[in-house]
A and B are shown apart, each in its own frame.
Chain A
Amino acid sequence: MTATTTPDATISIPEVPLWRARLLMALSSLRSSWAMFAENPIGLIGLGVIVFYGLFAAAHPILMNTVWDPVVYDPVNGFDIEIAFHPSAPSMRHPLGTDVLGRDVLSQLMFSTRYEFALGMLAALATSIVATTIGAISAYYGGVIDLLLMRLADLVYMMPLLPILIVLGALMDIGMIELAIVLGLLFGFGGTAIVVKSQALSVKVKPFIEAARIAGGSDFHIIFKHMVPNLLPISLLYMMFTVNTAIAYEAILSFFGLTTIEMSWGLMINVTQVFGYLLRFDTWWLLFPASIAITTLCAAFYLVGRALDEVVNPRLRRR
């Protein structure tokens, strides 16, 4: 069989599947965004710190399986019987010393890192899903739905977050997952939803929304296929800010001993406080590693957020 000889087949465009065209477009926009992001050393520094902590977390299982004896170095149940007095100062055997219960501080620090990442990511994901959905629906429908959702957002935004979390932590068992979801919902329904909605209002009046409606797209289709993709950049930006806030809140709640997390940076400081080593600055390794880890990881996510802000928000760009 030879090619058909109908006239319109002769002016065919190159056969590119739709998914590939979309992928190429996404890649090229990613590349230009990356170029803009990479211009700013602040964002790169933040990204570097995050990658460092990622490797730090990944190294823990490898070390546990090769170099470290699980009986001595287990972050939760380990105990070093060869050292007479705990907490012991940093040595070759324990690079950051041991805590009051004879556990290796470096091992605890590395073990906790993965949970901090998981908490931050889960909270950020919950926030962005809730905020994008609420923002898009509220902007698209307007009227009574908008009024109800936005008043709800105002109410949640007004809630003093830390006091509410303290009551929740004091009265029921809060683990990592519950905390991530509660934080995600509170951020998602509150401030982030308000910001995303204002962005969604400007997307709603774009011609392609009108075109989609004329083409017969259902409300669901227009919101999730046309509006939400355009809200993703600002949603991503607020995800970064959610991550650092979530990590900070987890640390503070664990510091007060109000969570049921088995090991985290905040808990390491809580153990220090419970055993009365908080104001003894000669045993600095009980306080400093965890506090510096919390501060630097939060700062790194915040720096990346600020650098992304300059990419997403054209009014902050240099040129």
Chain B
Amino acid sequence: MWRFLGQRFLQMVITLFLFQAATYFLIDAQPGDIADLLTLDPNIPPNERERLRAELGLDRPPVERFFKYIGNFYRGDLGVSFQEYPKPVIDIIEERLPRTLVLFLSANLVSFWVGFVSGKILAWRRGGWIEYTSTIAGVTLYTVFLPWFGLMMIWLFAVTLDLFPAGKFLSPINWLTAPVNANYIFIRMTISAFIALLIAFIGTLLSNRLEPRHRLGARLVSFIVPLAGLVYYWQTSEFGALAWDITSHLILPILTLTLYAYAGTMLITRTSMLETLREDFIFTARAKGLPEKVVRDKHAARTALLPVWTGLIFSLPAALGGGIITETIFSWPGIGLAYLQAAVVEDIPVVMGILTIIGILTLISHLIADIGYAFLDPRIRYH
């Protein structure tokens, strides 16, 4: 196991280096740079542009710049943004990344749970109109043009029903007299929600060990108690109103993403369940006379969880790709929006910084996915 991890770590470092090199030179090979954009005004003399290029280090050869960048990167320095000079890139990422991750993690956790349960049941009851309707509805939702879907959600929930605000991270009017900044409250919200979720998760695990007739009640309690605790904590806190402001802005993007991700999970689970149901061990389990529900939930679903687990883990690095679309529609100031704005004005340090962070997240999630396989499918072993 340790040898496996060591090898994987070495591979990861090499892959990250290659990834950085590939993206750096790909971006560098494009014509033009930010100096051209900043000096678009014809009244600016050309030597001023050259001076700006020299100041930003853009006049050095690409290979030298790349190795300088890599050297600084491993010392923890990601450079400064050209666009918001002299704001360090790491500050931008620190501010924006949690917002995107919270959006995607909450949407994905809900959609994967619901999608797995419903996909499992759909595969079990194959044939008939349920299968066809659910597949066509699922595929349509899966391939839906996401900007349009987001706009539909805004139209329905924000414009027609007027339940939630239509976009943005907060309503500035509520924050004029606020003693702390939004990120401080957002981080505290995230941590408290995470603790509540952890308690609920442990409670569910413990309740599975109880006798079947107590199980349902114990599960309900383990969900309601942390939720009530969370609500009580923010109700009594002095920042309760501010936290609610952020939450109300959070609900609509999460709902959109949950529906969008749900379809994918449901379809993957269904296919994977259908493949698993052909395996010999399912046949054996049925021949032993086990109840259908046990065969479905204990024998088939656990193996069928593999591709779903991969999907869940890989949705983390995909958060950037999906984030660009969702965050544009909902004007959510996350990392995707920061990336899009930086890419359009050729703010290379920010683009590289965000791509590198996403690259690291991808590598870590691949590792977690591989380790998870060994737990889910006893036939998989790493030596």
Q: Does B135 contact A (CB under 8 A)?
A: yes
Nearest 7 A-B pairs (CB), nearest first? A171-B30, A291-B148, A298-B143, A162-B321, A294-B145, A299-B143, A170-B343
Taking A168-B30, A295-B140 as contacts, is the C-beta distance between A269 and B148 under 8 angstroms?
yes
Q: How far is it, in angstroms, between the C-alpha of A53 and the C-alpha of B26 when the chains are bound? A: 36
Q: Is the CB of A155 within 8 A of B136?
A: no
CA distance A302 to B155 in the complex (A): 27
Residue of A159, A251, A313 contacting most chain B CB atoms (<10 Å):
A159
**Cβ contact within 8 Å between A299 and B363:** no
Q: Does A176 touch B at the CB level, under 8 Å? A: no
- Size class of the contact patch on chain A: 35 or more
Contact of B15 among A158, A294, A309 (CB under 8 A): A158
A 240-258 to B, binary, CB cutoff 8 A, 1 in contact else 0: 0000100010011001100
Interface centre among A42, A168, A171, A303 (most CB of B within 10 A): A171
List of A residues within 8 angstroms of B147 by Cβ: 252, 255, 269, 291
On chain A, the residues within 8 Å of B22 by CB distance are 155, 159
A-B interface pairs (CB < 8 A), number: 126
Provide the bound-state CA to CA distance between A167 and B355, in Å.
Answer: 11
Interface of chain B residues 262 through 281 with chain A (CB within 8 A)? 267, 271, 274-275, 278
CA distance A232 to B140 in the complex (A): 27
Whether B230 sits at the interface, judged by CB under 8 Å, is no
- For A154, the closest partner residue in chain B by CB is B15
- Is B112 engaged at the interface, CB distance under 8 Å to the other chain? no
Contact between chains at A163 and B31 (CB < 8 Å): no
Q: Which of B154, B166, B271, B324 contacts A162 (CB 8 A)?
A: B324
Q: Which residue of A lies closest to B321 (CB)?
A: A162
In the complex, the answer to whether A155 meets B324 with C-beta atoms within 8 Å is: no
Tell me if B139 and A170 are in contact (CB < 8 A): no
Interface residue B359 (Cβ < 8 Å from any Cβ of A): yes
Contacts of B278 in A (CB 8 A): 315
Q: How far is the CA of A45 from the CA of B135 in the complex (A)?
A: 12
- Give per-residue flags for B121-162: 1 if the beta carbon is below 8 A from chain A beta carbons, else 0: 000001100001001100110111111100100110001000
11 additional A-B pairs beyond A42-B135, A167-B351, A295-B140, beta carbons within 8 Å, are: A155-B15, A162-B325, A163-B321, A163-B354, A167-B26, A244-B143, A269-B147, A299-B136, A302-B139, A303-B139, A316-B271
